[in-house]
Chain A
Amino acid sequence: MAVAHGHDDHHHGELHNPMEPTRQEQIVMNRFGLWLFCFSEVFLFMALLAARFYLWRDPVQGALRPELEQGPALIFTCVLLVSSWFMNRAEVASANEDMKTFNQSLAMTFVMGLIFLLGVIFYEWGLGLAHPHILPTDGAFGAVFFAMTGMHAIHVITGLIFVAIVWRNGNLGHYSREDHWGVEACAIYWHYVDLVWIFFYPAIYLIGIGVHIPGH
Chain B
Amino acid sequence: MKYFLTSALTKGLVGQILTFIVSYGLIRNFRKTVSGWEVPAPELSGWQAPYDEPAMVLATIISLFGFLLACGVVSDWLKMMAGQKPHLKHGAQGKPEWTRYINIDVNHKVIGIQYGLNSIFILLVGGLLAILFRLELALPGLQFLQDGSQYNTLFSAHGIIMIAAIFAGVGAMTNYLGPVLIGASDMSFPRLNAFSYWVGVPSAVILLAGIFMGGWDTGWVGYPTHSTTTQMIGVQMFLLGFYLNGFSSIASGLNMVVTAVYMRAKGMSYFRMPIFVWAAVAASILQATTTQTVGVALTMVVAQRTLGMNFFTPVISPELLAAGVPAGDPILFQHIFWFYSHPAVYVWILPGLGIISELLPVFTRKPLFGYKWIALSSIGIALVGMLVWAHHMLTSSMPPAWKIPFMLSTLLVAVPTGVKFFSWLATIWEGKMRFPTPMLFVLGAISVFLLGGLSGPILGTIATDMHLHDTYFVVGHFHATIFGGFVFPFFAAIYYWFPKITGKMYDELLGKIHFWIMVPGFWVMSLLQMRVGVLGMRRRIADYGSDLGIQVEHALITVATLAIGWSILIMLYNLITSARKEELAPENPWESRSPEFLAPSPLPEFNYLAPIEVVGEPYDYGLEGATYAVVPTPAGD
| A6-B606, A15-B91 known; A213 vs B502 contact (CB < 8 Å) | no
Bound together, the chains give a CA A17 to CA B608 distance in angstroms of 10
CB contacts under 8 Å to B, within A11-26, are: 12-15, 17-21, 25-26
CB contacts under 8 Å to A, within B599-618, are: 600, 602-606, 608-611
The secondary structure that dominates the A interface is helix
Bound together, the chains give a CA A165 to CA B83 distance in angstroms of 8
List residues of B whose CB falls within 8 A of some A CB. Answer: 81, 83, 85, 90-94, 97-98, 100, 107, 109-110, 113, 184-186, 188-189, 250, 253-255, 257-258, 261-263, 288-293, 295-297, 299-300, 303-304, 307-311, 316-317, 319-320, 322-329, 332, 335-336, 339, 501-503, 579, 600, 602-606, 608-611
| Residue in chain A with minimal CB distance to B304 | A143
Distance to closest chain A CB from B347 (angstroms)? 14
- Select one of B184, B253, B255, B303 contacting A147, CB under 8 A: B303
- Select one of A46, A47, A55, A165 contacting B328, CB under 8 A: A55
- Select one of A18, A32, A144 contacting B261, CB under 8 A: A32
| A40-B288, A139-B328, A143-B304 known; A5 vs B501 contact (CB < 8 Å) | no
Distance to closest chain B CB from A42 (angstroms)? 8
Chain B residues lying within 8 Å of A211, measured Cβ to Cβ, are: 323-325
Q: Is residue A157 within 8 Å, beta carbon to beta carbon, of the partner chain?
A: no
| Residue in chain B with minimal CB distance to A57 | B326
CB contacts under 8 Å to B, within A136-155, are: 136-144, 146-147
Chain B residues lying within 8 Å of A44, measured Cβ to Cβ, are: 292-293, 295-296
Beta-carbon contact of A51 and B605 below 8 Å: no
Between B253, B297, B323, B600, the greatest number of chain A beta carbons within 10 A of the residue's beta carbon is seen for: B323
The 3 closest A-B pairs by CB, nearest first: A6-B604, A143-B309, A19-B185
| A13-B94, A137-B308, A172-B83 known; A4 vs B602 contact (CB < 8 Å) | yes
Bound together, the chains give a CA A187 to CA B237 distance in angstroms of 36
Bound together, the chains give a CA A6 to CA B109 distance in angstroms of 13
| Residue in chain B with minimal CB distance to A173 | B83
Chain A residues lying within 8 Å of B611, measured Cβ to Cβ, are: 18-19
| A47-B336, A54-B329, A169-B83 known; A1 vs B97 contact (CB < 8 Å) | yes
Chain B residues lying within 8 Å of A32, measured Cβ to Cβ, are: 258, 261-262
Beta-carbon contact of B109 and A3 below 8 Å: yes
| A58-B324, A211-B323 known; A36 vs B339 contact (CB < 8 Å) | no
Q: Is residue A129 within 8 Å, beta carbon to beta carbon, of the partner chain?
A: no
Chain A residues lying within 8 Å of B304, measured Cβ to Cβ, are: 143
Beta-carbon contact of B335 and A54 below 8 Å: yes
| Residue in chain A with minimal CB distance to B331 | A54
Chain A residues lying within 8 Å of B261, measured Cβ to Cβ, are: 32
Beta-carbon contact of A137 and B309 below 8 Å: yes
Q: Is residue A87 within 8 Å, beta carbon to beta carbon, of the partner chain?
A: no
Beta-carbon contact of A138 and B320 below 8 Å: yes
Beta-carbon contact of A139 and B326 below 8 Å: yes
Beta-carbon contact of B307 and A36 below 8 Å: no
Between A2, A12, A141, A165, the greatest number of chain B beta carbons within 10 A of the residue's beta carbon is seen for: A2
16 A-B pairs in the complex with CB atoms less than 8 angstroms apart: A1-B503, A2-B602, A19-B185, A33-B189, A36-B288, A40-B254, A43-B289, A43-B290, A58-B324, A58-B326, A136-B303, A137-B310, A140-B328, A143-B328, A147-B296, A213-B320
Beta-carbon contact of A141 and B308 below 8 Å: no
- Select one of B336, B579, B600 contacting A1, CB under 8 A: B579
Chain B residues lying within 8 Å of A56, measured Cβ to Cβ, are: 326
Beta-carbon contact of A4 and B605 below 8 Å: yes
Chain B residues lying within 8 Å of A7, measured Cβ to Cβ, are: 605
| A19-B606, A50-B336 known; A140 vs B326 contact (CB < 8 Å) | yes
Chain B residues lying within 8 Å of A147, measured Cβ to Cβ, are: 296, 299-300, 303, 309, 311
Extra A-B contacts (20), CB below 8 Å, given A13-B90, A40-B254, A146-B309: A1-B503, A1-B602, A2-B109, A3-B100, A6-B605, A12-B94, A21-B188, A32-B262, A40-B253, A43-B291, A47-B336, A136-B307, A140-B310, A140-B328, A143-B311, A143-B328, A147-B296, A147-B311, A211-B325, A213-B325
Beta-carbon contact of B296 and A139 below 8 Å: no
Beta-carbon contact of B309 and A54 below 8 Å: no
Distance to closest chain A CB from B220 (angstroms)? 19
Q: Is residue A127 within 8 Å, beta carbon to beta carbon, of the partner chain?
A: no
- Select one of B189, B292, B303 contacting A40, CB under 8 A: B292
| Residue in chain B with minimal CB distance to A137 | B308
- Select one of B94, B297, B303 contacting A143, CB under 8 A: B303
Q: Is residue A39 within 8 Å, beta carbon to beta carbon, of the partner chain?
A: yes
Q: Is residue A212 within 8 Å, beta carbon to beta carbon, of the partner chain?
A: yes
Q: Mark A176-216, 1 if CB is under 8 A from B, else 0.
A: 00000000000000000000000000000000000111110
Bound together, the chains give a CA A143 to CA B307 distance in angstroms of 9
Beta-carbon contact of A18 and B609 below 8 Å: yes
| A2-B501, A143-B303, A211-B324 known; A39 vs B289 contact (CB < 8 Å) | yes
Beta-carbon contact of B303 and A214 below 8 Å: no
Bound together, the chains give a CA A5 to CA B600 distance in angstroms of 11
Bound together, the chains give a CA A7 to CA B185 distance in angstroms of 14
Chain A residues lying within 8 Å of B323, measured Cβ to Cβ, are: 211-214
- Select one of A6, A29, A214 contacting B262, CB under 8 A: A29
Bound together, the chains give a CA A14 to CA B320 distance in angstroms of 67
Beta-carbon contact of B502 and A2 below 8 Å: yes
Beta-carbon contact of B90 and A139 below 8 Å: no
Q: Is residue A122 within 8 Å, beta carbon to beta carbon, of the partner chain?
A: no
Beta-carbon contact of A4 and B327 below 8 Å: no
Distance to closest chain A CB from B602 (angstroms)? 5
Distance to closest chain B CB from A133 (angstroms)? 13
CB contacts under 8 Å to B, within A90-142, are: 136-142
Distance to closest chain A CB from B181 (angstroms)? 15
- Select one of A17, A30, A51 contacting B606, CB under 8 A: A17
Distance to closest chain B CB from A135 (angstroms)? 9
Between A3, A13, A30, A47, the greatest number of chain B beta carbons within 10 A of the residue's beta carbon is seen for: A3
Beta-carbon contact of B292 and A33 below 8 Å: no
Beta-carbon contact of A25 and B326 below 8 Å: no
Chain A residues lying within 8 Å of B255, measured Cβ to Cβ, are: 33
Bound together, the chains give a CA A2 to CA B332 distance in angstroms of 47
Chain B residues lying within 8 Å of A168, measured Cβ to Cβ, are: 83
- Select one of A13, A172, A213 contacting B91, CB under 8 A: A13
- Select one of A33, A40, A140 contacting B311, CB under 8 A: A140
Q: Is residue A69 within 8 Å, beta carbon to beta carbon, of the partner chain?
A: no
Beta-carbon contact of A3 and B605 below 8 Å: yes
| A19-B611, A143-B304, A147-B300 known; A3 vs B324 contact (CB < 8 Å) | no
Bound together, the chains give a CA A10 to CA B307 distance in angstroms of 57
Beta-carbon contact of B186 and A17 below 8 Å: yes
| A39-B289, A40-B292, A47-B339 known; A5 vs B328 contact (CB < 8 Å) | no
Beta-carbon contact of A3 and B310 below 8 Å: no
Bound together, the chains give a CA A46 to CA B185 distance in angstroms of 36
Chain A residues lying within 8 Å of B189, measured Cβ to Cβ, are: 29-30, 33
Bound together, the chains give a CA A213 to CA B609 distance in angstroms of 68
Bound together, the chains give a CA A14 to CA B328 distance in angstroms of 58
Beta-carbon contact of B300 and A51 below 8 Å: yes
Q: Is residue A64 within 8 Å, beta carbon to beta carbon, of the partner chain?
A: yes
Bound together, the chains give a CA A137 to CA B328 distance in angstroms of 11
Q: Is residue A75 within 8 Å, beta carbon to beta carbon, of the partner chain?
A: no
Bound together, the chains give a CA A113 to CA B597 distance in angstroms of 54
Between B250, B326, B328, the greatest number of chain A beta carbons within 10 A of the residue's beta carbon is seen for: B326
Bound together, the chains give a CA A57 to CA B329 distance in angstroms of 11
Bound together, the chains give a CA A37 to CA B289 distance in angstroms of 9
